[in-house]
Structure 1
């Protein structure tokens, strides 16, 4: 790193939203094959890093409770994958709920890799799937079709910006628990060629013809997901993201999304609710 580069850097770790999630098979090693249309929100966690003699992590923010600061945290695991000997102090400001189906930990790890690549002057490792199947898609937070176990990511330019509301009932849902309730291991993928969708309403209509195959088993694990979907019933499309329990509602415009978020927040102040834009520009790093 040159002397002109700053000693403290910042990266944004956006929420990852599975607009669709088709489970198309299960491999011999137990991993599930997926076909998913993924986008990212303009809300998320924030990471800061500064050079230090050793590697350490502090976790702050409204959703920091219960997030470990030790070596099991994906942020530190990502840092060690980048360079097992280099030092930095990392600060993670958590705004996303954990175990929520929005890729919070994976997005944090991917942001760590991008951040430390700049701070340490290292290339991001080629094999990041060892950290988690969601890491490759989170390294480049833009709309993409994700297949395999998450390692095959193809950019998709056929979506507009999507005004949306994200709602999590603050009930953590463990992905293994959801998959343990999942019975049909082989389901149809999305069409080979995805359509170009011009407006948020066009997108909602087409997405309604697709699925999240984990929604039904997640409802069995966390019945409150049905209450969240009901709260979003005025949306053009309401669906669970990932393995839950966060759900998203797609709205025709930002004003409608903001109104829905205000209504849900007033009715359920104990829930995590965010009006957001999916597939919009990400903050520069």
Structure 2
């Protein structure tokens, strides 16, 4: 039996840095959704643990001897008191080190798919603990649902319903280290966001997001000025309601009234740029069973 899990791109619609703990970890307040692009992780029974990475961005992980997927597998196996054995194949479709949580989404997918492969039923609390031990973005990626992410990633709460919209993701082909972006940040801490009960339409959502911002965008522009070229190109696209960088960069997104407008925007951008457009990700597509 081969099991498959989708690992969708995490998109920070807004990101506020609200403080810093004594241990150096920054406190965040971020509105997170999941986009149309995704990695995929396949798992099959085996007598040892192995990981094969393939796909357009596989080369970006060749220098990682201990991928987050393997760490997730070992952590889950340790919790269950069982051997960490499975043949894993990762289809790497998301750019590496690009601010859309590709590695975190892959780790979350590993927790989900191996729980099924090994017949485990960890509680939500157990999964949250395992996820947080792997990285700040992993907990929100476990469910891959729109969420407000606070603290160091452990405090999750539902967002107001996101209006129907189209999302365009764009990366020029550069990787940005999160640590470099945080080091370049000189601004004061922000206050947490005040959210409404709902947004009546995507235009209202875009206006609200414009007021919130991404506190890491300005420092990321000092680290990688070409991010500004991507933002400028997205803003010029017909129908673009908001252009912003996601996470610590360098991937940027455009918000549109519908997926067709987002796709038209993708088609108008340079073919050498990585682009993905469509509706927001639906969590119901997480689990796929193939073969027997």
TM-score bracket for this pair, using the shorter chain length: over 0.9
Give the structure with the larger helix fraction.
Answer: 2
1:227 aligned residue (220, 226, 229): 229
2:72–2:110 contact (8 Å) kept in structure 1: yes
Question: Are 1:215 and 2:223 counterparts?
Answer: no
**The 10-residue stretch of structure 1 (165-174 or 77-86) with the greater mean CA deviation from structure 2:** 77-86
C-alpha change, 1:220 and 1:44, in structure 2 (3 Å) is: same
Structure 2 counterparts to residues 1-285 of structure 1, below 5 A:
7-68=1-62, 71-84=65-78, 85-124=83-122, 125-126=126-127, 127=129, 128-191=131-194, 193-233=195-235, 234=237, 235-264=240-269, 268-278=270-280, 280=282, 282-285=284-287
Q: Helix, strand or coil: the match of 1:65?
A: helix
Q: Which runs of 5+ in 2 are unaligned?
A: 288-292
Aligned residues: 275
Give, in whole Å, the separation in 2 of the partners of 1:276 and 1:215. 23
Q: Cα offset for 1:185? A: 4.7
1:4 is matched with none
TM-score (normalised: structure 1):
0.92
Q: Which runs of 5+ in 1 are unaligned?
A: 1-6
Give, in whole Å, the separation in 1 of the partners of 2:63 and 2:47. 17
C-alpha change, 1:133 and 1:185, in structure 2 (3 Å) is: farther
Deviation readout 1:145-199 (Å, 9 max, x if unpaired)? 11000000111232123201100011000100000101125212101x4340132
1:236–1:249 contact (8 Å) kept in structure 2: yes
Cα RMSD (Å): 1.5
Give, in whole Å, the separation in 2 of the partners of 1:198 and 1:274. 26
Give, in whole Å, the separation in 1 of the partners of 2:261 and 2:23. 45
